[in-house]
Structure 1
Amino acid sequence: MTDIPETVVLVADDGTPVGTAPKATVHSTETPLHLAFSCHVFDDRGRVLVTRRALAKKTWPGVWTNAFCGHPAPEEPMEDALVRRAERELGLTLTDVRVSLPDFRYRAVDASGVVENEICPVFTARAVGEPSPAADEVAEWAWVEPEQLRSAVASTPFAFSPWLGWQLAAWEGSYSAPS
C-alpha cells in the first residue's frame, strides 16, 4: 500500500474553498490561507494533553503545543479529519468531540521564516486510553492540569506554539474537558 500525499484546502478570506494544494508544498514563506483544525484532548480526570512537536517538523520543531492539529482533506467532514489525525498522530480514539472556537484563525511566522496561515476551528475531545504517538509527529507528551498549562504558557510563551497561546487567550469561560 502506498501513502497518498496529503492535500490541503485553500480558502478565500471568508473561508470559501478556492482550490487545493499538496501539504508538502503549501507551508513556505508565502503560505496561502488554508483550512486546518486544532484539538485539545482531555482525559477522564480533566487533565489536558500537551505534545512537544517532533524535531523533524517543518514548522515550530520542538515546541510544546495542544494535543494535535491537522488539515481536512478536500470534502472530508471536519470530525472525520479529527478522528483520522488523532489516530495517525497520537494513536488515540476520541469521544465527545465538540467545536469550542469555531472562528479561530491565525497567521504566524516561525524562526526559519515559514508561515502558518490558517482558518483553524478549535475542538475539544476526550481520549480513550493513553497516547501512543508517531515519532515523526511527537517528541514528548504529558497530561497536565488546565490551569498549569495556562500558567506555563503565560510564564514561558517561547516554549509553546503561538497558536496555543492565542487559543487559550480566546477561550471564553473555563478551559476544561467537554461535559
Structure 2
Amino acid sequence: MNKQYFDGQDELLILVDENDNQIGIQDKLSVHVQGILHRAFSVFIFNSNNELLLQQRSNIKYHSPGLWTNTCCSHPRPGESTLDACNRRLNEEMGMKANLHYSFSFLYKFEFSNGLTEHEFDHVYIGNTDIEPQMNQEEVNDWRYITLSDLEKEINLYPDLYTPWLKICMPQLKQYLTSN
C-alpha cells in the first residue's frame, strides 16, 4: 500500500469492544492494517422526494476508491461525540448541513485487496434536506440521488460499483425505514 494516498493516517481512532465500549485509541493506519474493531459512522441523507444522496468516493482514497456509497462516512475523533463527527464530516465531504438522528448500529469486518481491513462498529445517522451538495473534490468524485428500490437493483446488477459497508447496511436501512 502506498502511504502517500492514505488520507488522515495520523488521525487517532477510538477502539471499541463488540458493545461499543471504548477500550483504547490508536492511529488510523495501524488500526486498518491490523483490522482492529473501532467506532465509525455512516450518514444517509434523503431529499423531499425520499431519494438517497450517494457519493462516489475519490479516486485517491486508500480503499474503495471510485466506488459509490452512502452520503458520507468516517470516524469520530477521541473526545468527539458521534453526532458531532457526523455533522463535521457531512460538511467537510459534501458541504452540507442537515438535522441528523441516530437510527441503528451494525458491526462488520471486510478485508480489502490492498491488505487493509475495515472492522467497524458503525453508527447510522439519517437526515433530510434539499440543500444541494458542494462536494469536496479531494473526498468525493461525484454525487447523485437515487431511490432505495433503484439502488437495490443497481447493487444486484453491479455489486462491484458499491462499497462493502453500503451493501452490508442496506437490509437494515430498509427495515429501519419501513418500521419508522
TM-score by length of 1: 0.87
> What's the counterpart of residue 5 of structure 2?
none
| Distance of 1:163 and 1:62 partners within structure 2 | 14
Partner deviation per Cα, 1:95-146 (whole Å, 9 max, x = no partner): 2x122223x0110112222110100011111135111111111111101122
> What's the counterpart of residue 110 of structure 2?
108
The 5 A counterparts of 1:125-136 are 125-127=127-129, 129-136=131-138
Runs of 4+ aligned structure 1 residues displaced above 6 Å come to: none
Partner deviation per Cα, 1:35-93 (whole Å, 9 max, x = no partner): 00011111122111111110100011111111110111112111111110100111001
> What's the counterpart of residue 146 of structure 2?
144
| Distance of 2:161 and 2:91 partners within structure 1 | 25
| Distance of 1:43 and 1:50 partners within structure 2 | 11
Amino acid across the alignment from 1:111: S
Unaligned runs of 5+ in 1: none
Alpha-carbon contact 1:146-1:175 (below 8 Å) kept: no
| Distance of 1:21 and 1:128 partners within structure 2 | 37
Range with bigger deviation, 117-126 or 7-16? 7-16
Aligned equivalent of 1:20, options 7, 20, 25: 25
Between the two proteins, the alignment pairs up a number of residues equal to: 171
Describe the shift of the 1:48–1:31 C-alpha distance in structure 2 as closer, same or farther (beyond 3 A): same
Describe the shift of the 1:174–1:24 C-alpha distance in structure 2 as closer, same or farther (beyond 3 A): closer
| Distance of 1:164 and 1:10 partners within structure 2 | 22
Unaligned runs of 5+ in 2: 1-7
Q: CA deviation at 1:175?
A: 4.4
Q: CA deviation at 1:162?
A: 1.0
| Distance of 2:141 and 2:35 partners within structure 1 | 25
Task: Give 1 or 2: higher helix fraction.
Answer: 2
| Distance of 1:153 and 1:56 partners within structure 2 | 23
Describe the shift of the 1:174–1:37 C-alpha distance in structure 2 as closer, same or farther (beyond 3 A): closer
TM-score by length of 2: 0.87
Aligned equivalent of 2:173, options 164, 171, 174: 171
Q: Percent same amino acid at aligned positions?
A: 29
